[in-house]
Amino acid sequence: MRAKILSLLRQAGDRYISGEEIASRLGVSRTAVWKHIQELREAGYHIASHSRSGYSLREAPDRLLPGEIQHGLNVRCIGREIIFRDVVDSTNTLAKQVAADGAPEGTVIVAEQQNGGKGRLDRHFFSPAGKGIWFSVILRPPFLPQEAPKCTLLAAVAVAMGMERFGLKAGIKWPNDILYENKKLVGILTEMSAEMDGINYVVIGTGINVNIMAEDFPEELRATATSLSIMNGGKPLPRVKFFQAVLEAMDELYDAVKREGFAPVMAAWRRYSITLGQEVRVIGVRDGDVFTGRAADIDEDGALLVDTPSGRRRVLAGDVSIRPQKR
């Protein structure tokens, strides 16, 4: 009901619309309209009222509310269903629960704050309230399970595309870290439930540091983490608008993948890469193997191809950490 009232207020533009008209058009009482208006105000909407004229929407909050995100959102699949929470342990954890319960493809779980967000290799992801975009997307793709890790590359490209729409130049460090001045802006974690011959669901969790200032980061993260607002000269970004740009880019890429495979995603990833062509040091997380070489390319599976003095080596995402080789 609140979404319908918001829609009517938006349609009215700058003019007032009476409680009686809203009630008549929605088939509810004026008292019910008043109660929903109060709830919208409590959620952060600035709604002016006049005893004779009615109500007028003056300002919407920069909160990641479903009604705000979906207003003007142009997508085929991703974001048509949105589940919002003020606080969660992890959006990925909640996404896996609702996916197992049958949530439709494209459902987005978004929270203002995470208390237990995780990145690759089980690293904690700092997710403060109201300063970032912490979300997970549920996909039920037609491709085979071995293709699923490439969804991580898709998510990284989608964020990079969203940044470009706001005039911010992204750089992706293999496989999916987005960096600015060698500090991390974005973390992505893809998880999957699958059988031998098919995927039940894929959950892509993404954390974007949007309006976090340097002093907001814990001391131990200040040397390695940054945000879009810092990148933007200290100016905050409108989180809802930025989130819409990312969801639209992700939806566009996913639609292309279902039609053409991952080749378009791989090509876009190469354009944004700050790893390819660089001398890198590869550190094996599981076996402790360490070697250096030149990052030459990624293959059709998204693995990094590194040219070493002893030949080309193939590095799989999730198995290594990569740092620039000191000269």
- The domain covering 66-272 belongs, at the CATH homologous superfamily level, to Bira Bifunctional Protein; Domain 2 (3.30.930.10)
Give CA–CA dist 26/1, Å, rounded: 8
Q: Are the CB atoms for 91 and 136 separated by under 8 Å?
A: yes
pLDDT of residue 234: 94
pLDDT of residue 326: 57
pLDDT of residue 322: 73
> Which class would CATH give 278-322?
mainly beta
All CATH 2.30.30.100 domain ranges of the chain, comma separated, are: 278-322
pLDDT of residue 283: 84
Give CA–CA dist 296/284, Å, rounded: 18
- Give the CA distances from residue 288 to residues 28, 61, 174, 295, in Å, rounded to whole numbers and listed in that order: 66, 48, 19, 19
Task: Tell me: is residue 278 an annotated ligand-binding position.
Answer: no
All CATH 3.30.930.10 domain ranges of the chain, comma separated, are: 66-272
All CATH 1.10.10.10 domain ranges of the chain, comma separated, are: 1-59
How crowded is the C-beta side of 79, counted as CA atoms within 13 Å? 26
- pLDDT (tens, 9 = 90+) of the chain, 327 residues, equals 888 898 899 888 889 999 999 999 999 998 999 999 999 998 888 999 888 889 999 988 888 999 899 999 999 999 999 999 999 999 999 999 999 999 999 999 999 999 865 555 455 678 888 999 999 999 999 999 999 999 999 999 999 999 999 999 989 999 889 999 889 999 999 999 999 889 999 999 999 999 999 999 999 999 999 999 999 999 999 999 999 999 999 999 999 999 999 999 999 999 999 999 999 988 876 667 889 999 999 999 999 999 999 999 999 866 667 766 654
Whole-structure pTM value: 0.87
Give CA–CA dist 223/118, Å, rounded: 19
Task: Tell me: is residue 92 an annotated ligand-binding position.
Answer: yes
Task: Tell me: is residue 326 an annotated ligand-binding position.
Answer: no
CATH architecture of 1-59: Orthogonal Bundle (1.10)
Closest among 52, 59, 54, 51 to 15, alpha carbons compared: 54
* Spatial CB neighbours of 305, under 8 Å, sequence gap ≥ 6: 295, 296, 297, 298, 299, 312, 313, 314, 315
Give CA–CA dist 188/157, Å, rounded: 11
Give CA–CA dist 160/176, Å, rounded: 10
Q: Are the CB atoms for 21 and 56 separated by under 8 Å?
A: no
Residue 151 burial (CB count, 10 A): 29
